[in-house]
Structure 1
């Protein structure tokens, strides 16, 4: 099946225009006030302030996402504190996301959601406290489901699309939209700035002090880490990144710099490293771009253009000679995936499963583009439903079919996308294992990227650790200790919540 151009999407081979498309939401600062009698902002101070370092989502309808290319990075310099009283918590009674592992099963006869502990691609959710979760009922670490998601404890709806309202676009992940900073309450960084300076001045470096500060629950939010870096630089008239580079090395340096950059800048750097120089690191490219939300893809493409001054798809095309692989990434970068709130439609699943079989086992010479289009455009729940239905209808796992019908980077990409939907925790465990337990030693850049990505999503990290022990019969912490050493081991253990020093 050929890839059809969607309404409002660019022609094949062209990246979305910097200014976005018609019907996208307005940029920050252009929101409309609600009609008389609708929800009005509360007076200053009416709602309680969140705990330091935590981040609250605004009430539904108060948050708008900027179209691609419309947001700008904050200028260098001290972190700007918001005026008091501007960090309100959503009113009581708004939707809450169910805790990890408590997704409800659909009615009998319908397709199943991913197994307990599985999660769709990371959404804009405040990070849980780290190390150690906050007790239930406390304000820190709470987060609220985006509009269109079921309230906590209620079952997601399934059925034909005409029975339900259009899926609400999921917001960008935490750290991917500067508009999120208006809801972040600055923390007291003064003692930690002094600790960092003392750890790196004079002879030697107190690496344990660096690890304690950088992996503190206070700085689990990317916006809190950004504040720490800005405050260090402005108060001491120094450059924290340069100090880290001078005082550390190896895996410790790489992880500290990744935490300083934050998830969005880390994605851009990983892509740049993957396509710069001789050859293409297609594993790294897949890690960053496949299975991501539409909002995150738009943020990554816009930030890549801002930082590098180049179009991401054009750079991918210039580095990858396989035209089918380029076409796959052009589909990814259109950011036209089904939103997480889109329902699982049994008739649609049946049609796509039939098409997948015809494009793989049903013909001589598999149709890569037809398979890519289905996998790219489906959300996690739909991918899980397809995998289940393929197994019941054709008595073969879809994963086995992909392994038999494809080879090389295309096979890896399809398995990556399928893994993000059918069993994300198991896929995360496998990706950690593949980069950590190797005959030639750990593949550090892949392991560090995957580990820091999980660190910024505490629920996903916990699910991956549980899946690792279930699949490989060992705790992830034990394998990390066996594979790594020194400060590299220490900071890796701290990221997974197992550092004892």
Structure 2
């Protein structure tokens, strides 16, 4: 759904020049062979290769060494560093599928993860995630969502997981009608017509929704986010706001998520890791710029202050420096 950055990449990680999958595979094997593990070599190689190159390294490792790279790494590494390295080795759609599966199948449901992934991915990405979920877990993502969620929140997630959002341009007269319909369904109604919000926010194209939000602001002198904040509550409010924020500016949505993951006592490492891995080849350069402008600190320095060890060093590499 990335309204910003469509058709171009502003990632901090790209294809490594002079790439040699066999050489990388051998270096990784050497780093894990014998007594002790050279975590620095593992971090240097895997954080500085694109995901496509990492997939080649996995195949080369099996060819040259005759073993499974991920299995070997799991034996040698531990805790957050292990989780981060394994995340880097999964293809993006399979990583998202794993995160969704963990969110649905753990103790309780991690609604925050469902919202983050499904509100921020475009149609093609969601369709690939659904396929990967089926392949990896022999289960249907929509069915699992339905068995773990309820009410209007469930209906929003089911709508998003279709990966069937309109991809056309904005329609000026339709945008006026949609803005009016949203106002009538919320601010101007006794109670809230949630179905109208779901129908518009989950099906209209990104350019069209941007026009709707502009019309809404102009006609009612109130931001659509403020209306959702006052008209909806709980997980429905959270998912609606996430959709609106991703439509307006996807990198800004992730900058806010990263800030919240690291502010205060303790760090939400799952969120930090997931965003750094999943956005590193898409829009992390933009996320960093917004983070610095909005929070007065660089993303890199926040990571350095909130993490440690090989885990920190790998995140710093993914961050691509302190700019």
By the TM > 0.5 criterion, same fold?
yes
2:115/2:242 contact within 8 Å kept: yes
Provide the residue aligned with 1:498 in structure 2: 321
2:11/2:279 contact within 8 Å kept: no
User: Which of 391, 409, 433 is the matching residue for 2:259?
Assistant: 433
Residue 195 of structure 1 aligns to a residue whose secondary structure is helix
Q: Distance in 2 between matches of 1:211 and 1:393?
A: 52
Q: Distance in 2 between matches of 1:276 and 1:253?
A: 21
Provide the residue aligned with 2:295 in structure 1: 472
Q: Distance in 1 between matches of 2:125 and 2:11?
A: 20
Provide the residue aligned with 2:227 in structure 1: 401
Provide the residue aligned with 2:30 in structure 1: 198
Gaps of 5+ in 2: none
Bigger Rg, structure 1 or 2: 1
User: Which of 225, 232, 247 is the matching residue for 2:76?
Assistant: 247
* Cα drift, residue 466 of structure 1: 0.4
Provide the residue aligned with 2:311 in structure 1: 488
Superposed, which structure 2 residues align to 1:161-176 within 5 Å?
none
Q: Quick one: structure 1 residues 380 and 119, their matched pair in 2 at CA, closer, same or farther if it must change by over 3 Å?
A: farther
* Cα drift, residue 365 of structure 1: 1.7
Q: Distance in 2 between matches of 1:389 and 1:496?
A: 37
Superposed, which structure 2 residues align to 1:151-166 within 5 Å?
none
Please tell me whether residue 227 in structure 1 is matched to residue 56 in structure 2: yes
In the TM superposition, structure 1's runs of 4+ consecutive aligned residues that sit over 6 Å from their partners are: 125-129
Residue 376 of structure 1 aligns to a residue whose secondary structure is helix
2:152/2:194 contact within 8 Å kept: yes
* Cα drift, residue 187 of structure 1: 5.1
2:179/2:216 contact within 8 Å kept: yes
Q: Distance in 1 between matches of 2:26 and 2:209?
A: 49
2:12/2:280 contact within 8 Å kept: no
Provide the residue aligned with 1:119 in structure 2: 5
2:280/2:319 contact within 8 Å kept: yes
Provide the residue aligned with 1:366 in structure 2: 192
Provide the residue aligned with 2:250 in structure 1: 424
Q: Distance in 2 between matches of 1:119 and 1:436?
A: 25
What TM-score, normalized to structure 1? 0.61
What TM-score, normalized to structure 2? 0.92
- Is the helix fraction higher in 1 or 2? 2
Q: Distance in 2 between matches of 1:436 and 1:229?
A: 32
Q: Quick one: structure 1 residues 255 and 277, their matched pair in 2 at CA, closer, same or farther if it must change by over 3 Å?
A: closer
Q: Distance in 1 between matches of 2:317 and 2:219?
A: 45
Q: Quick one: structure 1 residues 128 and 467, their matched pair in 2 at CA, closer, same or farther if it must change by over 3 Å?
A: closer
Q: Distance in 1 between matches of 2:60 and 2:125?
A: 27
1:382/1:421 contact within 8 Å kept: no
Residue 423 of structure 1 aligns to a residue whose secondary structure is helix
The structure with higher relative contact order (CA 8 Å, sep 6+) is 2
Please tell me whether residue 450 in structure 1 is matched to residue 275 in structure 2: yes
Superposed, which structure 2 residues align to 1:52-131 within 5 Å?
118-120=4-6, 130=13
* Cα drift, residue 284 of structure 1: 0.6
* Cα drift, residue 278 of structure 1: 2.7
Provide the residue aligned with 2:155 in structure 1: 327
User: Which of 269, 279, 285 is the matching residue for 2:108?
Assistant: 279
1:53-96 Cα offsets, whole Å, 9 max, x none, are: xxxxxxxxxxxxxxxxxxxxxxxxxxxxxxxxxxxxxxxxxxxx
Q: Distance in 1 between matches of 2:276 and 2:11?
A: 16
Q: Distance in 2 between matches of 1:412 and 1:274?
A: 16
2:10/2:284 contact within 8 Å kept: no
1:368-391 Cα offsets, whole Å, 9 max, x none, are: 221122111123222222222222
Q: Distance in 1 between matches of 2:120 and 2:11?
A: 23
1:115-169 Cα offsets, whole Å, 9 max, x none, are: xxx335xx6x7886847x99xxxxx9xxxxxxxxxxxxxxxxxxxxxxxxxxxxx
Q: Distance in 1 between matches of 2:259 and 2:140?
A: 33
Please tell me the root mean square deviation across aligned C-alpha atoms, in Å: 2.3
Structure 1 range deviating more: 368-377 or 255-264? 368-377
Q: Distance in 2 between matches of 1:388 and 1:443?
A: 34
Please tell me whether residue 344 in structure 1 is matched to residue 173 in structure 2: no
Gaps of 5+ in 1: 1-112, 135-139, 141-185
